[in-house]
Chain A
Amino acid sequence: QVQLVQSGAEVKKPGASVKVSCKASGYTFTNYYIHWVRQAPGQGLEWMGFINPNGGSTTYAQKFQGRVTMTRDTSTSTVYMELSSLRSEDTALYYCARGSRDGYKTFEYWGQGTLVTVSS
């Protein structure tokens, strides 16, 4: 069965960087894009960007351009999302999600989420 397992919670100081991992299993890793979506406490969902594990190309939401980097390691079927220059507004639950291949552009499977807390 498809699983996306994310790394554990992080606490960071303002100005620091955080790197969250998302390990995929149960399918061919390079066949599906992985997206990152975040959710601030009590707020809605915000799309951050995606990576194509086949080749590593990325597309980032304009809001995060210059601050986010998505990478992948095909040997371990793991995708990473690094966010730099953290500020308190970046405190959120960060999800990875697998994109669909059926042409409908949906997010079929989701990780369990990783809480990133930014606090001095």
Chain B
Amino acid sequence: EIVLTQSPGTLSLSPGERATLSCRASQSVTSSYLTWYQQRPGQAPRLLIYGASSRATGIPDRFSGSGSGTDFTLTISRLEPEDFAVYYCQQYGSSTWTFGQGTKVEIK
């Protein structure tokens, strides 16, 4: 089973700052199958980025994804108040899906 490790665990930033979140896989992941979700407090996760770099419908362009192989990155170019949330990466392989443990982006 592929293990996804996200870092940092918590990111303390101010509105307007840039956030860079990392997702590292224990084995190579097919880029098409690397996904990012956002989860705000008290809400279900929301699809953010699919195929490592494509924004889901309605996701603002301040969100971007990149990476390949075992290293993937989610970048939020300028944090808005509604972006303070927990972010999860997810991968699919061999009929199994796994999630990273999440990165919390909190207001500094």
Contacts and interface: CB of A to CB of B under 8 A. Distances in A.
Given A104-B51, A105-B33, A105-B35, A110 B97 contact: no
Contact of A107 (B33, B45, B95, B101): B45
Nearest to A109: B47
Nearest to B102: A44
Given A97-B45, A105-B32, A107-B37, 18 more contacts: A35-B97, A37-B99, A44-B88, A44-B100, A45-B37, A45-B39, A45-B88, A45-B102, A95-B44, A95-B45, A100-B50, A104-B50, A105-B97, A106-B35, A106-B47, A107-B90, A110-B44, A110-B46
A119 interface: no
A19 B77 CA distance: 42
Contacts of B45: 37, 45, 95, 97, 107, 110
A49 B34 CA distance: 18
Contacts of B97: 35, 47, 105
Q: How large is the interface on B (under 10, 10 to 19, 20 to 34, 35 or more residues)?
A: 20 to 34
A112 interface: yes
Interface in B60-108: 88, 90, 92, 95-102
Contacts of A31: none
Contact of A46 (B35, B37, B51, B99): B99
Nearest to B96: A61
Contact of A113 (B1, B35, B44, B54): B44
Given A44-B88, A44-B102, A111-B44, A104 B96 contact: no
B16 to A, nearest CB: 28
Q: How large is the interface on A (under 10, 10 to 19, 20 to 34, 35 or more residues)?
A: 20 to 34
Contacts of B96: 47, 61
B35 A44 contact: no
Contacts of B98: 47
A35 B96 CA distance: 11
A44 B47 contact: no
A103 B44 contact: no
Which of A95, A100, A104, A111: most chain B Cβ within 10 A? A104
Contacts of B37: 45, 107
